[in-house]
Amino acid sequence: MALLSSLLLMADSLYRAWEGLLSGPDWLFWSVLLLVVTLSLLFGWGIRSLLLPRRKQPPPPAAPRDEESVRSALAAAQRDGVDVSAAEEELAQLDQQRQAPNPPLTVALFGEISSGKSSLIKALVTDAEPDVDVCGGTTRELIRYQWHYADGGTLELLDMPGLHEAEQPVDEEAQQHALRAHVVIYVCDGDLTRSQQQQLAELQRLDKPLILALNKSDRYRPQELQLLQQRLAEHQRQQQEVVTVSAGGEQELLRLLPNGDEEWVTRQRPPRINELRDALTRILGLDPTQLNQLRERAVFDLAGQKLEQAITTHREQRAAQIVESYTRRAVVGALAAIAPGSDLLIQGYLASRLIRELAQLYQIPIQRADTDLLLELVQKHVVRSHTLFLAVAGNALKAFPGIGTLAGSLVHAVAYGLIFHALGRSVARSLAAGGGLQPHQTAKMFKETPRDELETMVGKLAKMAVAEYRKRLTGSKPTSPDDLR
């Protein structure tokens, strides 16, 4: 009744207000109407923002690497103990080429197996003898050829192994050689498949001159060839060319003899590579300084990529060492705990140190609140899954007969080791993903640690716990709680 009375009073008030607006001046009516419409739109926008999920903003594009930034990052990584030999080798090769009096321009030929790259090089460089075969994937390694073109310049042609060749992962190596080259030629023999489109897109992202060469064009009729050229041109960017070539090869013809007999003869088809020659000549007519700058920028990018890979590998290895160290400390700390509740103090202190040391390794600042929240979430899961950790640890200790009633403390020590192993790996994976320490995501990784991963680690922990316990039984100096620091 109260709600109904309120609705009636509101309706009466709105009706009186409406009558007042109608009887009043026009400017007042339109002003109030505009205010009502504006408030309604704002209210609707607010409801929509609350109900619909927010769109994630795409990450900003990475800034192009230059020589100063790459060398500075390389020196910093080297001070941290990272193996930077791969990145240093790229820069050393670049310095060596800079010092050469007349370094040749480099053209890299890419394409899937049996696209005719080697035959095309044989047509371009008449005195070259590449290993050409009708079987797919004849070229097994990088082969270099020198080509002296009309203006007296020298080109170095790189014949790469076929991309996506079975049982021969060369895609990463091929991309690196594309980064080092001045010009890239992608060879195909028909319309591009999805994988070829992806390969071409990766080469286009290198931001250097690229030619798309349609090989074996003599097997298409003129209308088919024109349609193929249009389709291939759709995949090219502006100022990138599509040319049709034919590397030649053998063909069988039926010849009619004067006496009426017939015989099959094999003849060499003449190569048709004029369009490719013209396209290369136009590119080589550009300013050599510009071509070298594009190539050097790509080499700096390659060196930066190798440096990032080295840093990632170094951090993974160092993180594994840190987790293993704190896992051992957790086992020793559980055995060293004598007073009731002292094990919780030791393990809490070690867990905080473990998280801070991993964060320092990944150079990610963390808040004390995030660390406390993560440990709280992990502790709740440990309380619920305590039986699981004890069961896994107990099964491992069955491999050590004669322990008897002493197995209780060893089981708990191994269980603590399992907890720290799972916690350390979860924190390392979360930090490696970037974006700082995510307590809820890390706790979820901890909860989803597979049992077989725990069982793989438990044997090592059991040996560690038994060895530490035997030290105590034989009177040897065990690891003290002070050593945990």
Report pLDDT digits (tens) over 338-367. 554 555 667 788 888 999 999 999 988 888
Q: Across-strand partners of 187?
A: 213
Compute CA distances 375 → 113, 168, 348, 369, 436, whole Å.
54, 46, 8, 10, 16
How far is 330 from 420, CA to CA, in rounded Å? 7
Domains of the chain, with CATH numbers?
A: 104-286 (3.40.50.300), 309-484 (no CATH)
Which residues have CB under 8 Å from 155's CB, separation 6+? Answer: 104, 105, 106, 107, 146, 147, 148, 149, 280, 284
Sign of CA dihedral 146, 89, 62, 293: negative
Burial (0-12, 13-18, 19+ Cβ within 10 Å), 90: buried
Contact 474, 408 (CB under 8 A): no
List the structure tokens of 422: 């799972």
Mean pLDDT by 10 residues, the chain (485 residues): 88 81 79 84 79 52 71 90 90 85 80 77 68 46 71 72 50 73 87 84 81 85 86 79 80 76 76 84 77 83 89 93 89 67 69 90 87 84 64 56 54 78 89 82 84 70 73 59 44
Question: How far apart are alpha carbons 417 and 265 in whole angstroms?
Answer: 78
Q: In what order do the strands lie in the sheet with 183-188?
A: 143-148, 154-159, 105-110, 183-188, 210-214, 241-244
Q: Supply the pLDDT for residue 404.
A: 43
DSSP character at residue 255: E
Q: How would you classify residue 134: left for phi > 0, otherwise alpha for psi between -120 and 50, otherwise beta?
A: alpha
Helix, strand, or coil (residue 349): helix
At position 450, the amino acid (one-letter code) is P
Rounded Cα distance between 343 and 339, Å, is 8
User: Mind giving me the DSSP string for 276-328?
Assistant: HHHHHHHHHTS-HHHHHHHHHHHHHHHHHHHHHHHHHHHHHHHHHHHHHHHHH
3-class secondary structure, 134? coil
The answer to whether 214 and 188 have CB atoms below 8 angstroms apart is: yes
Rounded to 10°, the helix 288-336/85-99 angle is 160
Written as six digits, the tokens of 484 are 């945990």
Q: Residue 246 gets which letter from DSSP?
A: B
CB atoms within 10 A of CB 250: 9
> What tokens appear for 262 in the block?
């017939």
Q: Is 317 exposed, middle or buried (0-12, 13-18, 19+ CB in 10 A)?
A: exposed
Residue 154: C-alpha distances to residues 105, 131, 145, 148 (Å): 7, 22, 10, 5
The DSSP element (H or E) to which 228 belongs, if any, is helix 222-234
Which of 420, 400, 418 shows the shortest CA–CA distance to 470?
400
Instruction: Please name the residues in contact with 108: beta carbons below 8 A apart, sequence gap of 6 or more.
Output: 158, 160, 177, 178, 180, 181, 183, 184, 185
